[in-house]
Every structure is written in structure tokens, then in C-alpha cells.
Chain A
């Protein structure tokens, strides 16, 4: 019996030829579909391609009309690109590996609107769900303004410390004054001085042998000496008494703070120190940015893990069960995916942007260099480094953009909103292992140095991230702010409250609280509740007034805290940033 069916050779070859022909016909479409599917899985949002062309002889892939939806916003794209051209190394393709020597992208646009929701449905225990839960654990204090009323029943004056202490202080001051007046009256210095003056006159014509006169002169000197001693004693008594009274007066400040705390509690007011206001107003925005940054970093860690151990990933989508695909990296072999260099160039609103990405790989340990990204444009800077070469991954990123119109911020419970104006937005993010340090800042006004900048800075330090929200988090949110808020005119009379130290009144100001319905009242320049809340007593009354006409809120400890937080954040990032710079220079 024959083993081979030789007659079938020709049909088999024909079948192979037909298969090859079909592949040539549909390879572009298959590659496009695969790219869309893989990209959608990787990013967590739809990736759409108008046309993909495989230029196999030249090892080139051209992608036209790339659209990547935002994984965070329903009707917004993360980016769109007119054309992407990738130069591939052909040999790794035989090992099912993709090594891109160079990727050039043109016509990039970011944040464009889209008609449909491009986010992919994800289970709540997915990465996005975990990060959402993580963000929810970052408790941003709510700003609740003046939601209560002060009534006699609520505010018992007898419970206040300040009046009692002030009354006692006034009593002691009166007693001291009376004692000092009595002591001054009882000094008898006038008689001693008169006696001394007369003795001087007598001594002018006296003889040296007049013993009686010398005795009188000695007694007069003794009298003057005793008078001087009484004056000195009185002076000491007055000095010590004044010191005691000054100490008591200083104690009144603490008592007033305690009383204000009591009053605020009755009013259901928040802690109105500047950091609290910053946290309430900008904490959510900061956490949102941190969540996004964390999402990308976690994606990077998921698909760019350190080490050379076998790595399991979900299998390809198909009718049958997808299963798990296991990757077996080996030293001195090519990574499963490697993008050596990407040059991105785009123009937006007459601005030219240039960005560069390098070292993006599925096996950083094999490649041996961290992934880097940098972008520059007028007023814009971006730098990121994902170092997964070593067992403990380190991810840092920083970006700043000047001239950003900061959005209007409504003040809860009040028909007002804060208009910070245009300024600079900065974000830094550093994550080493499971420790995260992030910083989100907004500066507005003409910044020449740190003292002149008005900053709204949020620092987040997460001491143990665990598995993204799984397990206990030791979390600390710090927000430091120097807000300048104009007062809102109010119908009540001026009532000064103890305020934090005022900042330099000559600094420019941009923070404005406006009240649409009460604008006429604003023009009456009455003292307002908000001014009292914010502790401002010497402020301008309209946003149009020059900056040196009002003084901003400057909490006594704000500078220290700002410096402290800033330095921590700055140092935390600086070291990484320096590392990134060093890496970039290599």
C-alpha cells in the first residue's frame, strides 16, 4: 500500500498558493484587526485604524487614521494620528516578535471629541476599577461653608475663654496701674530733688571749713540715694508687671483660637486654614490626575514587567476558550515587543510639539534600558521614565504646561465660584516599588520666584500601595495652598476675626471669589462673611483692583508647610528626575 498520495502534491501546492494569495489579500486587514484588538486590550479603550498596510519587502508598516479613545472620558479621544510609519526588523517576526527600529508619527492630535463611548467595559476588579477604588480611598475633605446658624442657645458666651481671660487681664492691668500710681506718688522724689537743689546753691558760696554744711550735704546725698533706689525698685516692678500683662495678652490669642474653633463647630464650618481649602477645592482634581498617571504606570508594569521569569498573559480572543499565553524570555534574545525609538511631531494651534519615546519593550530586563519619553513645546515640558530593568520598578513622570486657563471652581454651599485665572499646571509622579509620591500643582500670576508664585499644590504620599487598593493603605494627603480670595460683600456688619498672617500686599493676586447675584452688594464694599471666614480684613473688593490693593491669605505655618511639602516632593521627584536626566544623557 502506498503511504503517500503523490497525486495530491499539486493540489496541495495549489492550496498553499491560494492560501498565500488570500494572506496577501487579507494580511493588511488581519493585521489591522489584530492591532486594534491588541491595542484595545492594552489600553482599556477602543483603538481604531482607518487603514493599515504591511510593506513586507521593506519591513514597514503604515497606519493611517489611528484613533485611540480615552480610557477615562466617554466622548473624548486620547489621541489621533494621521500617519504612523514603523520600520520593523524582519527576522524577529519569525519568532513572533515585533521589533520596531523607528516609529514616526505625524498629525498627532490630543483630546479630540468623539461620537461614541470608546471605553471598554471592564470588570470592577480590573485595573481601572482598582484605581478607582484607590482614588476613593484618598479622602478629600469636603468644603462646607456656613451651613449653620449662630443662636444664643448654640453659642453660650460663658463657655468662651476669651472674655473671661480678657476681663481678668483688664482687672490685673487696672490693679497694676493703681499700684504703680501709688508707688509713683509715694516716691517723694520732688522733696529730695528740691533739697538737693538747695544744697547745691548753699555749696556754691560755702567755705571748706564749714563742717555743719558738709554734714547737711552728706545727709542730702543720702536722701537722694534713697530716692534713686525707690525709683529703681518701682521701675523693676513696672517692667515685670508689664511683662506679665503682655504674656497674659499673648495667652488671649490662644484663647481666641479656641473660641473660634467652638464657633466654627457651631457653624459647621470646615477647618479654614489654607491647606484645608486647597484640599477641598483642588484635591479632587489632583486625585483625578494621580489616578490617570497611576493607571498608565500600572499598565506599564503589567505589560512591561521586570525579570526573566515566564509571564502569563490572556490568550487571543477566539470562539474557543482563549486560555493563557505564556512568554518565556531568555537572555540575549529579542524581546517579544520592542520599540526602539519613536519620533513624534505635531502642530497644534500654531505651536510645534516634538516628542520622543524610546525603549518601550515587553521585556525591559532583556533590553537593559528603561523606557523614556520626553516632549517639549513652547510652554510645555514632559518627561517620563519607566525603569523596569531591575527587580524593583521605578516610574517617574513630570509635566508642566503654562498659560492654562484654570477652570472656575464652585464653592460648595455658596452661590460663588473661585476664578484662579490662567497659570501653570504641573504634575510630578514617582513610584518606586509600591511607594508612590505624586504632586499636582497650579501656579498662577507672574512667577519670578517661588515667593511670588501663588501655588495650589497637592502632594500625595502613599507609603504602601499594596496591590492597588487591596489591603490597608497608609495614606497621607497633603495639600498646600496660598489662595488669594477676595471678600464677598455681605449685609452684615464688619466683624473681624483672628486671621493668619497676611502675605505681602504688593504681590499680584489672581484668586477671586465672585458672586453673581450679590454683585451690587459687592460694590457696597461691606465686610462679608467669607472675608471673616478666610480671616481677611484688608482686602480689595473687586477683581479689577490691582494686586497691591489687597493682601492674600498667608497662613503662619503655610510657608513652612509649603516648603516642607515642596521640598519633600521636589526632592522626591528631583532625585528621580535627575536619574531620568542622567539616563537620558547616556
Chain B
């Protein structure tokens, strides 16, 4: 665009906007704000420094205990204890391996399917899923906005 016209547009809009006075706050705004100030937030919603003294002491003791345990705990663990723990968790590790194998098999099956049907078909499927997702999310947005629309207050 022509820089002169652009400058002219800026001047026009600037003049129009700078002349705008403040909007009036809604009539009940002041009363609602003062009421909110008198209603204290729950202790857990406030900063730690504002918690009740007893809770602050308890939380501090717990935090110190956790840090101490973490610091000293590793040194206190006996090698034999580690071995016991390893044996104890071995079945769980076996379960994880099975899940991994299952996932690998599924990935292999998916690769074979892609190979069989061709990339074009699979991309079309993915595109369909994406469009369906977008459609659902779009409808969801519309319905949420409709259902939770906040009442409009007069200024």
C-alpha cells in the first residue's frame, strides 16, 4: 500500500481512538469487588507464607524429612536389599516386556496393512479421521459456547 495513504489511515484511526473516554464499570462492580475482598480464600489457595502457623510447621517438617530421607536414603540401602528389590520387581519387568512385544507386533501389522492397501488409501483414512475429529471438536466448541454462555450484563 501507498505509505502516504497508510500514514493517513493511521492518523484517522488514531484520532478516532484517542478521543474515546473510559467506559463506565458495571453498576454492581464496586460492591462485588468489596465483597470479594472480605471473603478470604481457603488456606490452601493462598501462598505458603499465609498458611496457618501449625500447617506451615507440619509442612516444613514433612519437607525436611523428605529431603533428609532422599539424601541419606541412598547410602542406607544395602546392596542385598537392592538385589531383593530387583528380584521382587522382575515379574513386573517381564510384564513390561510382554506389552512391548505386543506393541511391536501391532506396529508390524500396521506396516503390513499400509503395504497391502497402499499409502494413498491410508492417507485418505487418516484425512477422514482428521476431518471427523475437526468436525467433532468444532461442534463441541459450538455446543460448549452455547451451553456455558455467560449471561450478558448491561453496562
A in complex with B: no
B residues adjacent to A (C-beta < 8 A): none
A residues adjacent to B (C-beta < 8 A): none
